[in-house]
Structure 1
Amino acid sequence: MSEPGTVALTVKHDDSVQAIAFSPDSTRFASAGSDSLLRVRPVGIGVPLDMPVDGSVTGIAFSPDGSKIAVADFESVSLRDSTSGAVVWQGPLDPGNSVNTVRFGANGQVVAVTDTLVAVLDQATGATVKRITVDTPLIADVDVSRDGTRIALAIDERHGGNHKFAGSARVLDLATGTEVGKLTPANAVHAVAFSPDGSRVLCCSADDTTRMFKAQGGAEEWRVGGEAEDEVTSPNCVAFDPKGKWTVVGGSDGFARIREAESGEERGRTPKLIAGQPSPGAVTHVAFSPNGKHAASACIDNLVRLFNLGGEKVYEVSTDEVLTMTFSPNGRWLGVGCFDRALVIDNGEANQG
């Protein structure tokens, strides 16, 4: 039995790893980025697979049954067979604009997102089922509801010809393209996350606030931070507990905070600093384990941390700069993508499930 924090798998790359994904059964790990191969590796016993790509992969996702992999590679989206690497279909989404994200939506459809476009694609053919144009300069983050019917968008309006310090969090119905909810903080929105039942959305903004709002209608339920509070946390990444009770918020102040989903009240934070000890620097990624008992954070101090709801450390693992991070569906593994490699870290059998 491996100790929690043991690196179980290292996948070497020739450049930055910007996209990773686990298969639904947690037995395979895929990684890709700025080099010419998407690599699929067994977590344990199995056959490795390399898939040629153009070398600008920013998103990958396994289909719900694990048989296919969707890939965002520069301006194109492709669907591949996950065991052979054969291309089912491939084509440009929005010529001149890079695809930043791919996910699977309702009925296995592929959801692909650029800076200004959300597209729903038929899994069998790649044909565009729905195109939703977003009339602001930048989609900074996305999340798809668990049932695959809605998408939440973090909008940053600090870019483009109408440069202004503004933004919003929006919820769209993927079948119709209709906006069903919207929250507008005083500045750009960095990140969004759906609650497990899809009824609420957590978001954080450059106005130093973290907010919870109703997906339907956009009514704000709570907020923390902002000008009225003394503590500046600079939240920039968020995640929801899969059971719907907790959230984790990473800030540029160096802390990842566990907050109650109902109230926003802080339950714990990590790291636990000694008096006089400097901050580790900005937290860049956070994620919640599938069992809801632990969360993970990555920071610019090049440490990946697993911790409990009170912020107590389970392990720290030294890495290069982390560019992406995710848990396996069974919670046993934590995957991270770095500059020239991807890692799978063992969370231990006790933290599985």
Structure 2
Amino acid sequence: MSEPGTVARLIEHTGSVQAIAFSPDSTRIAVGGSDSVLRVRPVGIGVDVDMPTGGSVTGIAFSPDGTRLAVADFEEVQLRDASTGAILWHGPLAPANSVNTVRFGADGQIVAATDTLVAVLDAANGAVTRRIPVERPLIRDLDVSRDGTRVVLAIDERHGGDHHNAGSARVVDLATGKKISELTPDNAVLAVAFSPDGKQVLCCSADDSTRMFTAEDGKEVWRVPEQVPQPNDELDLSQRGPNCVAFDPKKGRWTVVGGADGFARVLDADTGDEKGRAPKLDPGVPDPGLGAVTHVAFSPTGTLAASACIDNVVRLFNLEGKPLYANTTDEVLTMRFSPNGRWLAVGCFDRALVIDNGETHQV
């Protein structure tokens, strides 16, 4: 049995790794990036498959049965055979616009997005069945509900500029393209996540707030930083700078939020109260000057979370913030748990790493 934190697989690249996906049975991993090769590798024993691509791969998703791969390949969406790499169909969403995201939705459909457009495609032939334009771009982040019927969008209207009163989050019905609700933080929205049942949306915005909303009517449920400071909080709550979020996928009981202050905080999904944070510092320890958290993810078990920071450390920790491991890596560009929770994959500038979380921490 491997110790938690052991690197089980290293996948070399000649460019940045921007997208990672595990097969539904957690036995294979697909890795893509800027070097125009999509690599499918067994986590254990199996056959390596290399799939040449036309450009930079920015999104990958396995079909629910694991036989196909949806790929965002520069301006195109592709559907490939997951075993051979054969292209079943391909085509652009909008000329001269890169595709940033691909997900499998409901009823054999694929959801794909550029900076300014969400599209629903028929997985059988690639036909676009619905286009949902965003009039004032940019789509900074999105999440698809677990049942595949809705999408929530994080909108940043002045990317790289003044974020004041320049964004919102909105929940959209994918079948009709109609807006169900609008969630309106004060400034540009940076990240969004649906609860497992799709009834709530967690979002963080450029006004340094983290908020929970009801998806159906956009009502605010709670907001941080309006919570009471924790005993060891040396920074003002308004300086947390939340920028990435994730929901506990098991029961939706917890959320994890990564901030510019270097901490990943586990918050109660019902109240926003803090349960723990990583790294977990001893009382009285000076601020170590941690790098901003860039990625967070929740294990499928709902008992562990992971974070990656610009201090080049990947951490796996429990709900109280107790570490299971802290691995030094290159800068992390993407991060993903396997469906069974056994593996954590991270993509860096020239490689992807599959880290073993240990047998006792899998579903």
TM-score range, shorter chain: over 0.9
The CA distance in 2 between the partners of 1:262 and 1:182, in whole Å, is 20
Gap change, CA 1:52 and 1:175, over 3 Å in 2: same
| Aligned residue in 1 for 2:233 | none
The CA distance in 1 between the partners of 2:168 and 2:228, in whole Å, is 20
1:227, distance to aligned residue in structure 2 (A) = 12
**Does the 8 Å contact 1:19/1:31 carry over to 2?**
yes
| Aligned residue in 1 for 2:17 | 17
**Does the 8 Å contact 2:36/2:57 carry over to 1?**
no
* 2:351 alignment partner AA: R
- Cα deviation per residue 1:13-41 (whole Å; 9 max; x = unaligned)? 00000000000000000100000210000
Counterparts in 2 of 1:182-197, with a 5 A limit?
182-197=182-197
| Aligned residue in 2 for 1:251 | 259
1:276, distance to aligned residue in structure 2 (A) = 2.0
| Aligned residue in 2 for 1:238 | 245
Q: Does 1:154 align with 2:154?
A: yes
The CA distance in 2 between the partners of 1:160 and 1:124, in whole Å, is 38
Q: Larger deviation: 163-172 or 340-349?
A: 163-172
Gap change, CA 1:277 and 1:38, over 3 Å in 2: same
Q: Larger deviation: 153-162 or 275-284?
A: 153-162
TM-score normalised by length of structure 2: 0.95
The CA distance in 2 between the partners of 1:279 and 1:126, in whole Å, is 48
| Aligned residue in 2 for 1:26 | 26
* Structure 2: runs of 5+ lacking an equivalent: 230-235
The CA distance in 1 between the partners of 2:290 and 2:325, in whole Å, is 16
Q: Does 1:117 align with 2:117?
A: yes
The CA distance in 2 between the partners of 1:17 and 1:4, in whole Å, is 23
| Aligned residue in 2 for 1:199 | 199
| Aligned residue in 2 for 1:224 | 224
* 1:253 alignment partner AA: D
| Aligned residue in 2 for 1:339 | 349
- Cα deviation per residue 1:278-307 (whole Å; 9 max; x = unaligned)? 222100000000000100000001010000
1:55, distance to aligned residue in structure 2 (A) = 2.9
Gap change, CA 1:8 and 1:263, over 3 Å in 2: same
Counterparts in 2 of 1:175-186, with a 5 A limit?
175-186=175-186
Q: Does 1:273 align with 2:296?
A: no
**Does the 8 Å contact 1:14/1:340 carry over to 2?**
yes
* 2:108 alignment partner AA: G
Counterparts in 2 of 1:33-182, with a 5 A limit?
33-159=33-159, 165-182=165-182
| Aligned residue in 1 for 2:317 | 307
The CA distance in 1 between the partners of 2:327 and 2:361, in whole Å, is 16
- Stretches of 4+ aligned residues off by more than 3 angstroms: 159-165, 226-230
Between the aligned residues of both structures, percent identity stands at: 71
Gap change, CA 1:227 and 1:138, over 3 Å in 2: farther
Gap change, CA 1:161 and 1:283, over 3 Å in 2: closer
Q: Does 1:261 align with 2:231?
A: no
* SS of structure 2 residue aligned to 1:106: coil
* 1:69 alignment partner AA: L
**Does the 8 Å contact 1:208/1:226 carry over to 2?**
no
* 2:281 alignment partner AA: L
* Structure 1: runs of 5+ lacking an equivalent: none
The CA distance in 2 between the partners of 1:14 and 1:83, in whole Å, is 23
The CA distance in 1 between the partners of 2:163 and 2:321, in whole Å, is 38
Q: CA RMSD in A?
A: 1.6
**Does the 8 Å contact 1:330/1:352 carry over to 2?**
yes
The CA distance in 2 between the partners of 1:256 and 1:161, in whole Å, is 26
**Does the 8 Å contact 2:227/2:273 carry over to 1?**
no
- Cα deviation per residue 1:224-278 (whole Å; 9 max; x = unaligned)? 1279984121000000001110000000110000000000000000112351242
The CA distance in 1 between the partners of 2:181 and 2:106, in whole Å, is 19
**Does the 8 Å contact 1:64/1:108 carry over to 2?**
no
1:59, distance to aligned residue in structure 2 (A) = 0.4
The CA distance in 2 between the partners of 1:318 and 1:88, in whole Å, is 39
| Aligned residue in 2 for 1:349 | 359
Q: Larger deviation: 268-277 or 135-144?
A: 268-277
1:163, distance to aligned residue in structure 2 (A) = 7.8
The CA distance in 1 between the partners of 2:308 and 2:142, in whole Å, is 19
Q: Does 1:319 align with 2:329?
A: yes
1:209, distance to aligned residue in structure 2 (A) = 0.5
1:108, distance to aligned residue in structure 2 (A) = 2.3
The CA distance in 1 between the partners of 2:215 and 2:295, in whole Å, is 23
Q: Does 1:284 align with 2:294?
A: yes
* SS of structure 2 residue aligned to 1:118: strand
Gap change, CA 1:205 and 1:331, over 3 Å in 2: same
